[in-house]
Amino acid sequence: MKIELEFDITEIFADRIEGTFDGHDKHGMTQMIASYAITQYIHQKFEWDNEKLGVSLFEENGSLIDGESMFGTFVAWKEGVPA
The whole-number pLDDT of residue 46 equals 96
Q: What is the DSSP string of 13-76?
A: -SSEEEEEEEEE-SSS-HHHHHHHHHHHHHHHHH---TTT-EEEEE-TTSSBP-TT--EEEEEE
The whole-number pLDDT of residue 3 equals 81
- Residue 83 in any domain: the answer is no
In the chain, how many domains are there? 1
Domain span at residue 12? 4-77
pTM above 0.75, yes or no: yes
The whole-number pLDDT of residue 26 equals 73
Spans in the chain with pLDDT lower than 70:
none
